[in-house]
């Protein structure tokens, strides 16, 4: 039966968080704090990001802003403008990354596109996300691509209503429990969890399986068997 398959983008279709982790490692090295460990610095940065993400959203540009604020809070020396510019540059360099598809994506998506209606549903900065969609070469496989500020229950309900999706035959496929799986299930959709070992810490939470509407796979290629 033809179904509606909604795909997350970052860390589901292509690598993303690893580049933010590399920028964070560079940040910690440049900060050179005398007592705080990287994990402790990460905890402080998480607090800043939780606050700022509500206002500014996601993406490399906003990540640069968050790193700058973290540097201002933690630096143990006088902060010069060139320090902040260097910190921002660590994040902005992410914008230069090529799009590296996850294993199995290039082989699996064309097959699924022949049998089902595919939607790409991603959050972040519209310009940044659309750049990655275009570089990936995957856009022609999708009937609809949408970038939103936040992926919550209301966002999924609106997507399903606007696109005319039958909830019983609509699946959200992604790696993030917080943005992909739990809100889609809360909206009455089905979901496929594709784990990624480097999922962003702020996207992790306990998965709430509802009425057996959740399927967990080991790899993206497993979708061939599930939807073949």
Mean per-residue pLDDT for 43-68?
A: 94
What string of DSSP letters covers 130-152?
HHHHHHHT-GGG-SEEEEES--S
Confidence of residue 99 (pLDDT cuts 50, 70, 90): very high
Tokens of 220: 């993206």
pLDDT tens readout for residues 77-92: 999 999 999 999 999 9
What kind and span of H or E run contains 183?
A: helix 182-186
Tokens of 115: 């049998």
CB-based contacts of 77-86 (< 8 A; 24+ apart in sequence): 86/30
What kind and span of H or E run contains 118?
A: strand 117-123
Instruction: Give 54 or 63, the one with higher predicted confidence.
Output: 63
Mean per-residue pLDDT for 33-59?
A: 95
CA-to-CA distance for 16 and 36, rounded, in angstroms?
Answer: 26
What kind and span of H or E run contains 181?
A: none
The reply to whether CATH 3.40.50.1000 applies to domain 4-15+98-227 is: yes
CA-to-CA distance for 92 and 85, rounded, in angstroms?
Answer: 10
Does residue 105 carry a pLDDT above 90?
Answer: yes
- The three-point CA angle 50-209-14 to 5° equals 55
Q: Where in the chain is the domain with CATH 3.40.50.1000?
A: 4-15+98-227
Going across the sheet that includes 214-216, the strands are 144-148, 117-123, 4-7, 170-174, 190-193, 214-216
Please report the pLDDT score of residue 1 as a whole number: 84
CA-to-CA distance for 115 and 212, rounded, in angstroms?
Answer: 24
Return the closest-CA partner of residue 123 out of 113, 114, 132, 136: 132
Does residue 211 carry a pLDDT above 90?
Answer: no
Q: Where in the chain is the domain with CATH 1.10.150?
A: 17-96
Do the Cβ atoms of 58 and 123 come closer than 8 Å?
yes
Please report the pLDDT score of residue 184 as a whole number: 97
Percent with pLDDT over 90 in the chain: 94
Does residue 200 carry a pLDDT above 80?
Answer: yes
Does residue 63 carry a pLDDT above 80?
Answer: yes
The pTM of the full predicted model, rounded to 2 decimals, is 0.93
Mean per-residue pLDDT for 12-31?
A: 97
Q: Quote the distance between the C-alpha of residue 144 and its chain's center.
A: 18
Confidence of residue 70 (pLDDT cuts 50, 70, 90): very high
CATH no. of 17-96 = 1.10.150
Does residue 94 carry a pLDDT above 80?
Answer: yes
What kind and span of H or E run contains 7?
A: strand 4-7
CA-to-CA distance for 149 and 122, rounded, in angstroms?
Answer: 9
Mean per-residue pLDDT for 209-214?
A: 86
Mean per-residue pLDDT for 61-65?
A: 96
Does residue 210 carry a pLDDT above 80?
Answer: no
Does residue 209 carry a pLDDT above 80?
Answer: no
């Amino acid at each position: 039966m033809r179904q509606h398959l909604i795909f997350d983008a970052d860390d589901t279709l292509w690598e993303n968080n690893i580049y933010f982790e590399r920028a964070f490692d560079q940040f910690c090295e440049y900060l050179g704090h005398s007592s705080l460990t990287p994990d402790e610095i990460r905890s402080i940065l998480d607090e800043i990001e939780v606050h700022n993400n509500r206002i500014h959203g996601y993406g490399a540009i906003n990540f640069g802003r968050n790193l700058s604020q973290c540097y201002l809070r933690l630096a143990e020396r006088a902060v010069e403008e060139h320090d902040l510019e260097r910190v921002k540059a660590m994040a902005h360099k992410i914008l230069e990354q090529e799009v590296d598809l996850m294993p199995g994506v290039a082989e699996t998506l064309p097959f699924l596109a022949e049998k089902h209606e595919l939607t790409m549903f991603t959050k972040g900065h519209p310009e940044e996300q659309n750049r990655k969609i275009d570089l990936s070469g995957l856009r022609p496989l999708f009937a609809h691509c949408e970038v939103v500020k936040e992926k919550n229950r209301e966002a999924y309900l609106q997507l399903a209503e606007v696109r005319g999706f039958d909830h019983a035959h609509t699946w959200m496929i992604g790696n993030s429990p917080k943005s992909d799986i739990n809100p889609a299930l809360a909206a009455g959709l089905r979901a496929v969890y594709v784990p990624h070992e480097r999922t962003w810490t702020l996207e992790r939470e306990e998965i709430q399986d509802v009425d057996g509407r959740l399927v967990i796979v080991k790899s993206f290629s497993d979708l061939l068997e599930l939807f073949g």
